[in-house]
Amino acid sequence: MPLNHTDSNVSGELDTSIYHLVDRLFPICRSITGNGVRKTLAVIKEYIPVEIHEVPSGTQVFDWKVPREWNIRDAYIKDSSGKRILDFRENNLHVVSYSVPVHRKLPLQELKTHLHTLPEHPDWVPYRTSYYNEDWGFCLSQNQLSSMRDGEYEVMIDASLEDGHLSYGEFVLPGETEEEILLTTHICHPSLANDNLSGIAVLTHLARYLQRVQRRHTYRFLFIPGTIGSITWLALNEQKRSGIKCGLVVACVGDGGGPTYKCSRHGDAPVDLAARHVLQHCGGEPRVLDFSPYGYDERQFCSPGINLPMGLFERSKYGEFPEYHTSADNLDFVTPEHLLESFHMIRQILEILERNRRYVNRYPMCEPQLGKRGLYDAIGGDKDRARRQMALLWVLNQSDGSHSLLDIAERADLPFEMIDHAASLLEDKGLVELCPDSLPD
């Protein structure tokens, strides 16, 4: 049997283990290149046999070049008494990512042009980067800044920006067919929990789960630095692109918002229809957004020359929760429950892609007699009995070879899982049969 959505053991072991992975990865200082990315991929490798690729700096990838590798060892600001008043070792958000090395003394007035705060959240430290503009800077809370008196300060960033490599992880799970579903997430943010350790942890556990079930599709997982990582992979893997049917970019899946699904550039690709359906029946405050060319790596996957049907799955939309890109996106902001919910919603989307199929009613002249075949008993007597009976009638009525189970679920306004179950019951009783050309759709 394909994806087993009733395996309660799965949830059992997952209850805390997704969050646990977030917790393990939180302290590492990641950027778009460097040892923080390698450490992260090494942790993922403890869970799944991810293959780690290293692409040399300077490699041309479409309109871009793989940048030099950035590594940081230490950084601080000392006051005139020599006391570290800001310390990279306490919080890696304190240094603007990709800062060039610096070590000098300068008055507060001049230093301020290199300092970033969030006046509207005076306790929080912002997250800033300067990948493609050589500069240096520090991030701190507004309260920290307010307590700094005029005078001379010593700033030190012990970092290197040198030719090296861009690192990313790739993991392929072959299925019954070569048709691929691509699942990607970015791994370039430092100590930020929702954006995007949540995405890394959910996809890692989803890969573990998919390892254990029958798969119609092949699944490819990419753990890549944002923007330059997806551009690099797309530029260097033209062959592999052609096998991809659709997929998801996964990010910000540890908070309690949404869920939010942003459609692919196609707008009605199988993954769009499946995600829309799952969101419609998931409770919460689901939002399905039209495609737009801003966001995470779907920007690249959905560029006009690539045009892969890749949607974006999130809980709260990036940029719309106040904790976004601040020190408040921490281990308290994400919870085991929300990570698990996100896991299951993505699993349900994949399950529709796996299990959607078309049937033909073998008794299409009027209704077949369900009672004499025990089907009224088979649907049970619980509060869902009426809906389960409707599911049987809908599958019989619409199974003329042209409607998929997802089409039927949409028209019946019933969850896919219920229609899927009804179809399986009817198939067992010989009332419907699978269309020969129905798999995969």
Q: List contacts with its own copies (CB under 8 A).
A: 62-64, 132-133, 227, 230-231, 234-235, 265, 290, 292-294, 299-300, 302-306, 361, 363-369, 371-372, 390, 393-394, 396-400, 411-412
Tokens in use for 54? Answer: 């290293």
Angle at 67 between CA 248 and CA 22, to 5 degrees: 45
Distance CA 188, CA 34 (A): 10
Distance CA 186, CA 226 (A): 5
Least distance in Å: CB of 76 to its own copies? 30
218-224 vs 165-173, strand pairing mode: antiparallel
DSSP classification of residue 95: B
Query: Comparing C-alpha atoms, which of 269, 246, 250, 264 is closest to residue 314?
Result: 250
- Long-range contact set of residues 212-216: C-beta below 8 Å, sequence gap at least 24: 213/1, 213/2, 213/3, 213/4, 214/1, 214/2, 214/3, 214/176, 215/2, 215/3, 215/173, 215/174, 215/175, 215/176, 215/354, 216/2, 216/175, 216/176, 216/177, 216/179, 216/354, 216/355, 216/439, 216/440
User: Nearer Cβ to its own copies, position 177 or 227?
Assistant: 227
Least distance in Å: CB of 363 to its own copies? 5
**Residue 396 near residue 359 (C-beta atoms within 8 A):** no
Least distance in Å: CB of 400 to its own copies? 4
Number of other residues whose CB lies within 10 A of the CB of residue 334:
30
User: Nearer Cβ to its own copies, position 184 or 191?
Assistant: 184
User: Nearer Cβ to its own copies, position 302 or 418?
Assistant: 302
**Residue 356 near residue 275 (C-beta atoms within 8 A):** no
User: Nearer Cβ to its own copies, position 45 or 68?
Assistant: 68
Least distance in Å: CB of 368 to its own copies? 4
Least distance in Å: CB of 369 to its own copies? 5
Least distance in Å: CB of 438 to its own copies? 16
Least distance in Å: CB of 234 to its own copies? 6
Query: Comparing C-alpha atoms, which of 93, 163, 101 is closest to residue 128?
Result: 93
User: Nearer Cβ to its own copies, position 47 or 291?
Assistant: 291
User: Nearer Cβ to its own copies, position 68 or 84?
Assistant: 68
Helices (H) and strands (E) in the chain, counts: 14, 19
Distance CA 34, CA 24 (A): 18
User: Nearer Cβ to its own copies, position 109 or 294?
Assistant: 294
Tokens in use for 192? Answer: 């930020």
Least distance in Å: CB of 28 to its own copies? 27
Contacts of 439 (CB under 8 A, 6+ apart): 216, 357
3-state secondary structure of 364: coil
Contacts of 368 (CB under 8 A, 6+ apart): 396, 431
User: Nearer Cβ to its own copies, position 63 or 150?
Assistant: 63
Least distance in Å: CB of 307 to its own copies? 8
User: Nearer Cβ to its own copies, position 55 or 86?
Assistant: 55
Contacts of 300 (CB under 8 A, 6+ apart): 227, 230, 231, 234, 306
Least distance in Å: CB of 361 to its own copies? 5
Least distance in Å: CB of 229 to its own copies? 11
User: Nearer Cβ to its own copies, position 182 or 390?
Assistant: 390
User: Nearer Cβ to its own copies, position 170 or 297?
Assistant: 297
Distance CA 110, CA 241 (A): 49
